[in-house]
Amino acid sequence: AQRVTQPEKLLSVFKGAPVELKCNYSYSGSPELFWYVQYSRQRLQLLLRHISRESIKGFTADLNKGETSFHLKKPFAQEEDSAMYYCALSGLGSNYKLTFGKGTLLTVNP
Amino acid sequence: GAGVSQSPSNKVTEKGKDVELRCDPISGHTALYWYRQSLGQGLEFLIYFQGNSAPDKSGLPSDRFSAERTGGSVSTLTIQRTQQEDSAVYLCASRIDRGNEQFFGPGTRLTVL
Protein backbone atom coordinates (compact mmCIF):
# COMPACT_ATOMS: atom_id res chain seq x y z
CA ALA A 1 0.00 0.00 0.00
CA GLN A 2 1.21 3.51 -0.70
CA ARG A 3 1.40 6.06 2.06
CA VAL A 4 2.67 9.60 2.51
CA THR A 5 3.60 10.93 5.93
CA GLN A 6 4.05 14.56 6.84
CA PRO A 7 5.05 14.49 10.50
CA GLU A 8 4.42 18.17 11.23
CA LYS A 9 0.86 19.49 11.19
CA LEU A 10 2.06 22.99 12.00
CA LEU A 11 5.34 24.75 11.35
CA SER A 12 6.10 28.32 12.34
CA VAL A 13 9.23 30.23 11.34
CA PHE A 14 10.36 33.83 11.16
CA LYS A 15 10.83 35.69 7.89
CA GLY A 16 14.30 35.11 6.50
CA ALA A 17 14.80 31.84 8.36
CA PRO A 18 15.33 28.54 6.54
CA VAL A 19 12.37 26.23 6.33
CA GLU A 20 12.11 22.49 5.76
CA LEU A 21 8.82 20.65 5.44
CA LYS A 22 9.27 16.93 5.87
CA CYS A 23 7.73 14.23 3.75
CA ASN A 24 8.30 10.49 3.87
CA TYR A 25 6.64 7.94 1.66
CA SER A 26 6.03 4.26 1.35
CA TYR A 27 5.66 2.71 -2.08
CA SER A 28 6.80 -0.55 -3.65
CA GLY A 29 8.12 0.69 -6.95
CA SER A 30 9.18 3.97 -8.49
CA PRO A 31 6.81 6.73 -7.46
CA GLU A 32 6.42 10.23 -8.72
CA LEU A 33 6.50 12.77 -5.88
CA PHE A 34 4.87 16.17 -5.83
CA TRP A 35 4.41 19.13 -3.53
CA TYR A 36 1.06 20.91 -3.77
CA VAL A 37 0.32 24.21 -2.02
CA GLN A 38 -2.94 25.85 -0.98
CA TYR A 39 -2.79 29.55 -0.13
CA SER A 40 -5.57 31.09 1.92
CA ARG A 41 -8.85 31.15 -0.05
CA GLN A 42 -7.18 29.75 -3.16
CA ARG A 43 -7.38 26.39 -4.83
CA LEU A 44 -4.83 23.63 -4.50
CA GLN A 45 -1.99 24.05 -6.99
CA LEU A 46 1.15 22.23 -7.95
CA LEU A 47 4.33 23.71 -6.48
CA LEU A 48 6.90 21.30 -7.82
CA ARG A 49 7.49 17.70 -8.84
CA HIS A 50 10.62 15.62 -8.38
CA ILE A 51 10.85 14.63 -12.02
CA SER A 52 11.40 18.24 -13.09
CA ARG A 53 14.21 18.96 -10.62
CA GLU A 54 13.12 22.58 -10.65
CA SER A 55 13.11 25.39 -8.11
CA ILE A 56 9.81 27.23 -7.78
CA LYS A 57 9.46 30.37 -5.65
CA GLY A 58 12.81 29.49 -4.11
CA PHE A 59 11.64 26.04 -2.99
CA THR A 60 13.47 22.84 -3.85
CA ALA A 61 12.86 19.21 -3.02
CA ASP A 62 15.14 16.25 -3.58
CA LEU A 63 13.92 12.70 -3.81
CA ASN A 64 15.98 10.48 -1.52
CA LYS A 65 15.11 6.90 -2.41
CA GLY A 66 17.30 5.46 0.33
CA GLU A 67 15.46 7.37 3.04
CA THR A 68 12.16 7.40 1.08
CA SER A 69 11.90 11.12 1.64
CA PHE A 70 11.00 14.18 -0.41
CA HIS A 71 11.52 17.10 1.95
CA LEU A 72 10.68 20.63 0.78
CA LYS A 73 13.24 23.32 1.54
CA LYS A 74 13.69 27.04 1.20
CA PRO A 75 16.73 28.90 2.51
CA PHE A 76 14.95 32.18 3.35
CA ALA A 77 11.23 32.04 4.11
CA GLN A 78 8.95 34.92 3.10
CA GLU A 79 5.62 35.91 4.64
CA GLU A 80 3.85 35.07 1.38
CA ASP A 81 4.99 31.46 1.78
CA SER A 82 2.45 31.02 4.55
CA ALA A 83 0.11 28.31 3.29
CA MET A 84 -0.89 24.66 3.60
CA TYR A 85 1.59 22.32 1.93
CA TYR A 86 0.76 18.80 0.82
CA CYS A 87 3.20 16.15 -0.25
CA ALA A 88 1.71 13.69 -2.74
CA LEU A 89 2.68 10.51 -4.53
CA SER A 90 1.49 8.76 -7.64
CA GLY A 91 2.67 5.42 -8.87
CA LEU A 92 3.71 4.81 -12.44
CA GLY A 93 0.86 3.24 -14.36
CA SER A 94 -1.55 4.07 -11.57
CA ASN A 95 -3.61 6.49 -13.64
CA TYR A 96 -1.71 9.20 -11.78
CA LYS A 97 -4.15 9.22 -8.90
CA LEU A 98 -2.58 11.05 -5.99
CA THR A 99 -2.05 9.84 -2.46
CA PHE A 100 -1.64 12.86 -0.21
CA GLY A 101 -0.05 13.43 3.14
CA LYS A 102 -2.18 15.19 5.73
CA GLY A 103 -0.49 18.49 5.09
CA THR A 104 1.68 20.96 7.00
CA LEU A 105 0.44 24.46 7.75
CA LEU A 106 3.38 26.80 7.38
CA THR A 107 3.23 30.19 9.06
CA VAL A 108 5.98 32.70 8.35
CA ASN A 109 6.02 35.44 10.97
CA PRO A 110 7.28 38.96 10.27
CA GLY B 1 -8.12 29.87 -20.28
CA ALA B 2 -10.70 28.86 -17.72
CA GLY B 3 -9.64 26.48 -15.02
CA VAL B 4 -11.59 23.65 -13.45
CA SER B 5 -14.92 24.83 -12.11
CA GLN B 6 -17.20 23.22 -9.57
CA SER B 7 -20.74 23.89 -8.47
CA PRO B 8 -22.21 24.60 -6.07
CA SER B 9 -19.45 26.16 -4.02
CA ASN B 10 -21.37 25.39 -0.83
CA LYS B 11 -24.12 22.90 -0.15
CA VAL B 12 -25.99 22.42 3.09
CA THR B 13 -28.31 19.45 3.25
CA GLU B 14 -30.21 17.39 5.76
CA LYS B 15 -29.21 13.90 6.70
CA GLY B 16 -30.85 11.37 4.41
CA LYS B 17 -31.16 13.65 1.38
CA ASP B 18 -29.38 13.07 -1.94
CA VAL B 19 -26.92 15.60 -3.33
CA GLU B 20 -25.26 16.14 -6.71
CA LEU B 21 -21.94 17.89 -7.12
CA ARG B 22 -20.78 19.07 -10.51
CA CYS B 23 -17.34 19.43 -12.06
CA ASP B 24 -16.39 21.14 -15.32
CA PRO B 25 -12.82 20.16 -16.23
CA ILE B 26 -10.42 22.14 -18.37
CA SER B 27 -11.35 21.73 -22.03
CA GLY B 28 -9.39 18.93 -23.66
CA HIS B 29 -8.43 17.23 -20.40
CA THR B 30 -9.32 13.58 -20.75
CA ALA B 31 -8.53 12.55 -17.19
CA LEU B 32 -10.76 13.65 -14.30
CA TYR B 33 -10.47 12.91 -10.58
CA TRP B 34 -12.61 13.40 -7.52
CA TYR B 35 -11.04 13.79 -4.09
CA ARG B 36 -12.47 14.46 -0.66
CA GLN B 37 -10.86 16.75 1.90
CA SER B 38 -12.09 16.25 5.42
CA LEU B 39 -10.86 17.18 8.88
CA GLY B 40 -8.57 14.58 10.25
CA GLN B 41 -8.49 12.54 7.04
CA GLY B 42 -6.77 14.96 4.73
CA LEU B 43 -7.19 14.56 0.98
CA GLU B 44 -8.48 11.21 -0.20
CA PHE B 45 -8.89 9.90 -3.73
CA LEU B 46 -12.42 8.87 -4.66
CA ILE B 47 -12.64 8.06 -8.37
CA TYR B 48 -10.79 8.48 -11.66
CA PHE B 49 -12.27 8.94 -15.13
CA GLN B 50 -10.53 8.48 -18.44
CA GLY B 51 -12.94 9.89 -20.96
CA ASN B 52 -16.39 8.70 -19.91
CA SER B 53 -15.29 5.50 -18.24
CA ALA B 54 -14.15 5.06 -14.65
CA PRO B 55 -11.38 2.46 -14.51
CA ASP B 56 -10.63 3.24 -10.87
CA LYS B 57 -13.46 3.65 -8.37
CA SER B 58 -11.47 2.24 -5.50
CA GLY B 59 -11.76 5.32 -3.30
CA LEU B 60 -15.55 5.54 -3.16
CA PRO B 61 -16.33 4.97 0.53
CA SER B 62 -19.69 3.24 0.11
CA ASP B 63 -22.33 2.34 -2.45
CA ARG B 64 -24.11 5.57 -1.57
CA PHE B 65 -21.46 7.32 -3.66
CA SER B 66 -21.53 7.25 -7.45
CA ALA B 67 -20.21 9.37 -10.27
CA GLU B 68 -20.61 9.71 -13.97
CA ARG B 69 -19.04 11.67 -16.77
CA THR B 70 -20.69 12.54 -20.05
CA GLY B 71 -19.27 13.73 -23.34
CA GLY B 72 -15.78 13.36 -21.97
CA SER B 73 -16.38 16.60 -20.11
CA VAL B 74 -18.71 17.35 -17.20
CA SER B 75 -18.77 14.99 -14.25
CA THR B 76 -21.34 14.62 -11.50
CA LEU B 77 -20.67 13.07 -8.10
CA THR B 78 -23.86 11.87 -6.42
CA ILE B 79 -24.19 11.03 -2.76
CA GLN B 80 -27.39 9.27 -1.78
CA ARG B 81 -28.91 9.27 1.70
CA THR B 82 -26.25 11.64 3.00
CA GLN B 83 -24.77 11.09 6.45
CA GLN B 84 -23.05 13.57 8.73
CA GLU B 85 -19.70 11.90 8.08
CA ASP B 86 -20.06 12.87 4.41
CA SER B 87 -19.46 16.51 5.39
CA ALA B 88 -16.25 17.56 3.64
CA VAL B 89 -14.86 19.58 0.77
CA TYR B 90 -15.16 17.66 -2.48
CA LEU B 91 -12.43 18.52 -4.97
CA CYS B 92 -12.33 17.81 -8.66
CA ALA B 93 -9.13 17.79 -10.72
CA SER B 94 -8.37 17.27 -14.39
CA ARG B 95 -5.25 16.32 -16.31
CA ILE B 96 -4.25 16.41 -19.95
CA ASP B 97 -3.60 12.99 -21.43
CA ARG B 98 0.18 13.13 -21.67
CA GLY B 99 0.87 15.15 -18.55
CA ASN B 100 1.10 14.27 -14.88
CA GLU B 101 0.01 17.58 -13.34
CA GLN B 102 -3.51 17.71 -11.99
CA PHE B 103 -5.35 21.01 -11.99
CA PHE B 104 -7.77 21.41 -9.15
CA GLY B 105 -11.11 23.14 -8.91
CA PRO B 106 -12.13 25.35 -5.98
CA GLY B 107 -14.13 22.57 -4.36
CA THR B 108 -17.67 22.13 -3.07
CA ARG B 109 -18.09 22.38 0.69
CA LEU B 110 -20.78 19.92 1.72
CA THR B 111 -22.37 20.18 5.15
CA VAL B 112 -24.79 17.50 6.25
CA LEU B 113 -26.92 18.55 9.22
Rounded average pLDDT over B91-102: 89
Residue pair A43/A22 in contact by the 8 Å Cβ criterion: no
CB contacts under 8 A, B 19-78 vs A, are: 31, 33, 35, 41-45, 48, 50, 55-56, 59
Nearest C-alpha in A relative to B102: A46
Instruction: Please compute the mean of the pLDDT values over residues B73-102 and round it to a whole number.
Output: 94
* Mean pLDDT, residues A26-36: 90
Residue A93 DSSP class: T
What is each CA distance from A33 to A8, A53, B23, B86, in whole angstroms? 18, 11, 26, 28
Residues 6+ apart with CB under 8 A from A90: A31, A32, A34, A96, A97, A98, A99, B100
Instruction: Name the minimum distance, in Å, from the CA of A45 to any CA of chain B.
Output: 7
In this prediction, residue A30 carries a pLDDT of 82
What is residue B21's predicted lDDT score, i.e. its pLDDT? 98
What does the pLDDT read at residue B1? Answer: 56
Find the mean pLDDT for residues B47-58.
94
Average pLDDT over chain B, rounded to an integer:
94
**What band does A67 get if pLDDT is binned at 50, 70 and 90?**
very high
Residue B86 predicted with pLDDT over 60: yes
Contact B50 A32 (CB under 8 A): no
Q: Do B104 and A44 touch (CB under 8 A)?
A: yes
Which of B31, B44, B107 shows the shortest C-beta gap to A96?
A: B31
